[in-house]
Chains A and B, each alone.
Chain A
Amino acid sequence: MHATVLNLVIFLFLIVKAPLVWGFSISDKALRLQSYLNTARQEKLWNDPQWLALGHYEKKYFSYSSPFTQGFFLDADGANSPEKELLKTIELLYGDNDQRLQCRYLARAQWLNAILKTDAQDRLPCEERQLWKKQLNVKGVSLIFAASDMGNASSSFGHTFLKIVNPENAQNKDLIDYGINYAANADASEGVFYALKGLFGMYDGQFTMLPYHQKIREYINLEGRDIWEYYFNFTPEETDFLVNHLIEMETARAPYYFFSDNCSYQILKTLEVVRPDLKLSQEFRYFTIPIDTVKKLTGLPTPVFVARKYKKSLKTDYLESFAKLGILQKKALDIAVIDLNIPDDYELLKLEKAQVYETAMKYYSLRAFTSDKDYDNEKYQLFLKRASMGIVAGADYVSNPEPPEDSHDSSALYFGMGQSDFENEMLTYTSLKFRHALHDLEQQDFGTVTFSQNEMASIEARYLNTNEEAKNFHIYKFTALNLVNLNPVTQLDKNFSWKFRAELVNNMETFTDDVFTSDIEASGGYSYDLALFERTRIAYLMTARHWDNSINSIGPEILLVSRLLPNLGFSLDLTYFGQNKRSDFLRYKSKVNYTFRKNFDIQFATENGINKEIHQQLQLVWNFIL
């Protein structure tokens, strides 16, 4: 009874009072909104670097635009107009209608609240979001770089993503932190179409979150790629702002381009949200190689990283364990892999035996991850054998490889002079070559695939010192691709090695006309490591070549590559070509690369031509980030 009376009183109070209260409140609110909009217009806040960073805007001559055309902007024209987007955001976040958008756009709201000094009444607490963030408890951020696979040149560029760090996981539990990845929503099984669609931005890029152990599983186990973690010196406030921004990006979609607007590019754009003055992404507008972004970040005059950590992949782990085995252990390994047991007549110490079992276990684990067979039984038998031996101290290795950021830069200019002995006439020239990416076979190769070459998009011009009638300046060669991947055969693995080269070459026979013909060469075979100098590998290949418009050649090739000294690389390549329109041809090529300081090499190359001429060239190589 009392309750009913009380309800009636409250009801009457609300009826009488409401128009008054609400009336003021509505007009107050509208006035405040108007003043926010006025401030924004007066101060042209849409030009603020923080606002431009929050929208992942890029400067396009006289205007700005953002690639996130879906699921992100509030104004229909927001992706092309920071101004319209800002005004629309203020209108929606602080206007009458959907204030809940403040919880969707946490970082925008946080920045606007600070810069517009918004009234406390206009701010939503967003409890649900805060609770979610509390569960994640992010207090730090790392940049994760997945390096290249030691046997797979395709991964040479690497990959980057972010890890959000919960300090409670610091003691041995950092694997349950979360990884934030920007990736194409793509299906790699589409083969050629996959590559093409990726080149032309036909896949959607989006941010995703996954437990870190699950994210790196792909790299560490399946793809054999080592992981490097770089811990940022962000303050807790900066870290919180980053998380707020990532929540904003949840439904955002942009066309994903493998070469330019890719994982690493959008990671840089995301870092600029935290520190708009970083301005790194503008240096990577057309081509973003993940390893280069790591180098830029590690090389900043004001450091952004405070710590670096290395996680080796299963493949690295296996190869290192194998390399450390003695001769008798390697024999035992052969038996262990087949019989799943080391016979007692092998006189190995307990530690040596444990090392053999562990290497065999890693071998089968790796095979299981990278082939169609599961090897469950083989692994299990070896596991039982090793487990029964108990703890053996010293069976594990700690490796300390050179960090990837210390490797040479991806693009290069070659300043050269050379001579060609042509029909008893010595022709000299100066040359200039530009290599877009990435690495020459003879260059120092830590941070990339050992004994590999990954040359993409090069152009070489030559200026001939010749008689007056001849033209002096010639574009000499375009190289689309020149790849070498020498994956060695080991005791247990019959790996395949291959080379591929596609070029357009100016044959310059008359020195007056430029006549370009295609030169395409493909090789396949096997390579072996030799115990010579620092490291040496020899490859036996079968090579097919189509060149000079109509010549088809095929024949055996021997390629020897050696690291004579840590800073001195050498290659010798002999190919015996049987040809359809010419007599047989033995081609020899050789190159020496001397690194005299980081990013600077001197190369000397010599090669014979089909008309018994000899070409020699001396080049100064300057590696840099484009």
Chain B
Amino acid sequence: MLKAFLTVFFLGSVSMAAGDAGCGLGSMIITKNSKLMQLFAATTNGSFGSQTFGITFGTSNCSASGIVQNDKQIQYFVEVNQAELTREMAQGHGEKLSTLAALNGCASDSQINSFSAKAQSSFSSIVPSAKTSAVDFVNNMKSASVADACHGS
């Protein structure tokens, strides 16, 4: 999943200049908990980040000032969180799924609940395969009209 996610991201950002890949995403090093690193890191505070971009660096899906553009929020959020969103969608609840509902215009808790239920019942059409891309995920969600749930009471 992780590799798929990164592949999708990098393919999506080939047009970007080198070293200029997303709001820091491209420069993000995926850290793994190796045994050896645990021991070394035990002597440090283990609190170093890996993003190397400045506050107002500009890039893909972000405005020229490092802020994610409003119309790209959903796409960006799905790209970053696709693995967890898919899991939460399957179980029909979760913080990231609620965020996705809110990004689609759901305001009240009942709207968010019906969004979550609708996303869950449309699961196999939104995520038709184990390798569904983030772009397809978002498009399929539109086709399934999941956001309609945000317009009821």
Contact = CB atoms under 8 A, between A and B. Distances in A.
A277 interface: no
Given A199-B44, A208-B49, A391 B92 contact: yes
B90 A384 contact: yes
Interface in A347-400: 354, 357-358, 361-362, 365, 368-371, 374-377, 379-380, 382-384, 386-388, 390-392, 395-396
B33 A172 contact: no
A187 B49 CA distance: 9
Interface residues of A, number: 100
A485 B39 CA distance: 10
A498 B34 CA distance: 13
Contact of A376 (B25, B44, B120, B130): B130
Interface stretch (A51-59, A148-156, A581-589): A148-156
Interface string A202-230: 01001111110110011001110000000
Nearest to B52: A185
B4 A262 contact: no
Contact of A183 (B51, B92, B93): B51
A314 interface: yes
Given A172-B101, A172-B112, A175-B99, A195 B90 contact: no
Contacts of B90: 361, 382-384, 386-387
Interface in B34-69: 35-56, 63, 65-68
B29 A184 contact: no
B42 A208 contact: no
A371 B51 CA distance: 21
B76 interface: yes
Contacts of B120: 387, 390-391
B91 A208 contact: no
A186 B65 CA distance: 24
A251 interface: yes
Interface string A447-459: 0000000101000
Interface residues of B, number: 76
A209 B68 CA distance: 11
Contacts of A376: 1, 4, 130-131
Contacts of A263: 45, 47-49
**Interface hub of A183, A199, A214, A388 (most chain B Cβ within 10 A):** A214
Contacts of B87: 361-362, 365, 379, 383
Interface of A: 132, 135-136, 146, 149, 152-161, 171-173, 175-176, 178, 180-181, 183-189, 191-192, 194-195, 198-199, 203, 206-211, 213-214, 217-218, 221-223, 246-247, 249-251, 256, 258-259, 262-264, 289-290, 311, 314, 354, 357-358, 361-362, 365, 368-371, 374-377, 379-380, 382-384, 386-388, 390-392, 395-396, 454, 456, 481, 483, 485, 496, 498, 500
Given A218-B49, A264-B47, A314-B84, 10 more contacts: A154-B37, A183-B49, A187-B29, A191-B37, A208-B53, A208-B54, A211-B76, A222-B30, A370-B32, A454-B42
23 contacts: A135-B67, A154-B40, A159-B47, A172-B99, A178-B67, A184-B49, A186-B50, A187-B50, A195-B41, A198-B48, A222-B31, A246-B55, A258-B45, A289-B45, A361-B87, A368-B83, A370-B33, A374-B2, A383-B89, A390-B120, A391-B117, A395-B91, A483-B42
